[in-house]
Amino acid sequence: MMPRRKAIAALVVGLLVSSLFPLLTWAEAPTPGTHLSASGNLSTPTPTPRPRNTQSWTNGTITITFSTPETYPQCIDEQTSDVIWTTGVPSNWSLVGYVSLQYVLDNGARQEFQRIDVNQTGDLNLTLTYPPVSQWPPQSNGTREVHVDLAIVVYDDQGLVATWVGSNGTLGPGQDWNVFCIAWSTATPTPTITPVSTPSPTPTEPPTSVELARFGAGSTGAPSSPPTLPWLLLPAALLLAGWLIRRRNLR
């Protein structure tokens, strides 16, 4: 093969490789909030549930369970909630009592800010809502705290107290809890206003095929698309290849 023909063939091969290389290196960017597992699959992390204080009592064929949260820290300045629930209470049995939400003040004093009366039959499933932490009155040491007190009496189908449940028939004693935030900061940073100048446009180098394949859609987490610029080289490579074949056949 003549040196000139070898050079043209090498050029054709180079154009073909450069046009196909981005397809081999392009990959979809993971969505924010997901993680790549050891097997290569995307997975969403599961939040750890809060610990709960769940107790059960049995008498004959009836088992009643009552579940409340354990004491836990919480410093999120937004409305949050907890759920208390029972299982196993017969549909013709009654639950009568209250749930009291209280701010904890200095020296252990408490101030009730919400009271929920309970008077129903069958199982209980009650959601309790707390105000944002910034609305809780601070103690002198900076701690903000809510205490939840509750007492719910269980009555059987004859209207008698089921003394074998809870504490002599009352759900709640020993299952109260606190939600607290230590050293909550109310300081708000003062925004600094700085003049913004409009930068003059400057020419930039277009990204290479390797950069396009590596960074994909950037920081948005959206799937990137295969770059289209190198595909412009493919027709030129095919035309050169066809021209070489035609010339060889003519000779």
pLDDT digits (tens, 9 = 90+) for 218-248: 444 444 555 555 555 666 666 666 766 666 6
Return the bridge partners of 115, or none. 100
Please, how many CA atoms are within 13 Å of residue 230, restricted to the half-sphere of its CB? Answer: 21
Q: Which of 131, 122, 148 has its CA nearest to residue 69?
A: 148
The model's pTM is: 0.58
Q: Read off the pLDDT of each residue in 69-78 and give the average, rounded to a whole number.
A: 95
Q: Is 88 exposed, middle or buried (0-12, 13-18, 19+ CB in 10 A)?
A: middle
Give per-residue pLDDT as tens, 29-64: 455 555 555 555 555 555 567 899 999 999 999 999
What is the C-alpha to C-alpha distance for residues 146 and 71, in angstroms, rounded to an integer?
Answer: 10
**What share of the chain has pLDDT > 90, as a percent?**
52
Domains of the chain (ranges plus CATH)? 52-181 (2.60.40.10)
What is the C-alpha to C-alpha distance for residues 144 and 102, in angstroms, rounded to an integer?
Answer: 11
3-state secondary structure 41-70: CEECCCCCCCCEEEEEEEECCEEEEEEEEC
Give per-residue pLDDT as tens, 107-120: 999 999 999 999 99
C-alpha dihedral (221, 222, 223, 225), degrees to nearest 10: -120
